[in-house]
Amino acid sequence: MPDPSELLDYVSDVSISKPLIDNWNTYSLDNGATLKIKLIITSIKRSSKYDLFGEPIYVINSQPVVDLDVPKNLLRKIK
């Protein structure tokens, strides 16, 4: 496997289209809150390097998006 610093030496941009599936991971917390999270891909670059199976290596930048639904009894009053 190439060193991670080598991956960015020879990369080409890959265009991003709309997600085929836009699902959230949803978790019910024991305090009654609901946590939803998904990953938004911000850029994809294809490296000139390949993994041990001969597949091209991609460098992916992403940003997590979090949505938290908190029950009213957990909220604190703001003065």
pLDDT tens track for 20-38:
888 999 999 999 999 999 9
- Give every CB contact of residue 67 below 8 A, 6+ residues apart in sequence: 24, 35, 36, 37
pLDDT of residue 21: 86
Cα gap 31→59, rounded to integer Å = 37
Q: Is the pLDDT of residue 8 over 80?
A: no
pLDDT of residue 18: 82
* Residue 53: band (very low, low, confident or very high) from pLDDT cuts 50, 70, 90: very high
* Residue 14: band (very low, low, confident or very high) from pLDDT cuts 50, 70, 90: confident
Mean pLDDT of the chain: 88
